[in-house]
Amino acid sequence: MTTLLSAQALAKAFPVASTPRERLRALLNLLLGRPIKRRDVLRDISFAIEPGASLGVIGENGAGKSTLLKLLVGVLTPTQGELKRCDSVGALLELGAGFDLERSGRENIALSAGLMGWNARQIAEREAEIIAFADIGDYIDEPVKHYSSGMVVRLGFSIIAAVRPQLLITDEVLAVGDESFQKKCIRWMEEYLQQGGTLLLVSHSMYHVQKLCKSALWLKDGGVEAYGDVFEVTQSYLAFHERKQEAEKNLREQRAISAGDFRLQSWQVNGSPVAANLVLPEDGALQIDVELHTPDQRIPHLGFGVKRADGTAVFGGTSEIDRAEGVLAAPHQVRYRLQLDLSNLMPGHYSLSVFVLDPEAIRLFDTVHCDLVVRGQAREFGMVRLPHRWG
């Protein structure tokens, strides 16, 4: 089996030249053959992608993901290491990359497809398909410089979809598209992979990485933190962020708070601290225990809400609406317990949030969220099951 992409001990360092003085010094050192002060952005990156594989690259902002992608597609050259890639690579990285902004979308289709090896006949045969997939209307004959960022992504991805490269490399650029087009792209990627395509995806969405990829590469501070099975790596990454958020929360709690600050201190669901992803139990019952901080012994109100993954509200309420009151468990601590029955929710992805309101239920002070996954198989449609009967 031919490896489509392999990286061995890749490293990239950039000259430290953020000021005019530093740039001049770097130029003089270069002309005189002296070493230049450099900053390591990537170090010792190794992995391989076989045909039919799907690799998700994850990491915080500044971890080196974008630099790695530019190395993989040839925009940058590595400082050290070896890189091998196949001839048929389709890349969708930065908005407008590869487009002539003065030319129309139609002209850019011909230019981009031609650069990918298509001849005039192939371009003419597939042009209508590309335009239909992009779905940007009459703008197809307008200069690309008049396009919104979402329209640029639509056109770029539509060209990639028609070319169907052996290896598709794409990053978070898809996040700027509207929701309906994002769903169209995800459906296309799933079909592409089912038909033997190979994918390298950079994303901050662990849901999409887990959905589309079989393996994952976690970059941290320019190095490989973890590489392997997608669920093992992404779960480690999510746990890292949970620990980081907990540390930040503890730091905030150590700071002096102003009079009038109501704050959520902790919350648990069914007796366990809330993780980034919450799977609904089979009976659909959630017991939510929340501890709030009150600076003046007054009892704040608690609110909750459930939304579908696309932001559509499913249900929400507050203790003030239900005439419920928290318990003052300590001089500055209020506790609430909420029993929530979500057994009628249809399978899918949702979000659960709780938020703190002042005792007058007017001002919002603090909000926390978690993803909520409802598993199961269903042929009905909608968000909730409504009791019904036939005959």
Cα–Cα distance measured from residue 235 to residue 242, given in angstroms and rounded to the nearest whole number: 10
State the angle between helix axes of 149-163 and 120-134 in degrees (0 to 180), rounded to the nearest 10.
130
Specify the pairing of strand 364-374 against strand 313-318: unpaired
For residue 6, count CB atoms less than 10 angstroms from its CB and return exposed for 0-12, middle for 13-18, buried for 19 or more: middle
Helical H runs in the chain? 20-31, 65-72, 105-115, 120-134, 149-163, 179-194, 206-212, 230-254
Q: How far is CA 96 from CA 153, 161, 363, in A?
A: 8, 16, 43
Q: Phi and psi dihedrals of 11, rounded to 5?
A: -145, 150
Does residue 282 sit in helix, strand or coil? coil
Cα–Cα distance measured from residue 89 to residue 85, given in angstroms and rounded to the nearest whole number: 8
Specify the pairing of strand 5-15 against strand 80-85: antiparallel
Cα–Cα distance measured from residue 56 to residue 218, given in angstroms and rounded to the nearest whole number: 8
Residue 303 per-residue DSSP state = E
Q: What is the pLDDT, as a whole number, of residue 367?
A: 87
- Total residue count of the chain as it appears in this document: 391
Contact predicate 123/109, CB 8 Å: yes
Residue 346 per-residue DSSP state = P
* pLDDT tens track, the chain, 391 positions: 578 889 999 999 887 766 777 777 777 777 777 777 788 899 999 999 999 999 999 999 889 998 998 898 888 899 999 998 876 777 776 655 678 888 898 898 888 888 777 888 888 888 899 899 888 888 999 998 898 888 888 888 888 888 888 888 888 666 666 778 888 888 888 999 999 989 999 988 888 898 899 999 999 999 999 999 999 998 888 888 877 877 776 665 554 444 457 888 889 999 888 876 788 887 889 999 999 999 888 899 999 999 987 778 899 999 999 999 999 988 889 999 999 999 898 888 888 999 999 898 888 888 888 888 888 777 777 888 888 889 8
CA dihedral 372, 373, 374, 375 (to 10 degrees): -160
Q: Phi and psi dihedrals of 21, rounded to 5?
A: -65, -45
Q: What is the pLDDT, as a whole number, of residue 100?
A: 85
Which DSSP string do the residues of 134-187 spell out, in sequence order? H--GGGGGSBGGGS-HHHHHHHHHHHHHHH--SEEEE-GGGGGS-HHHHHHHHH
Domains in the chain, please, with CATH?
48-237 (3.40.50.300), 260-374 (2.70.50.60)
**Two structure tokens written together for 285:** 């019952």
Residue reference for tokens 């901080």: 293
Contact predicate 90/168, CB 8 Å: yes
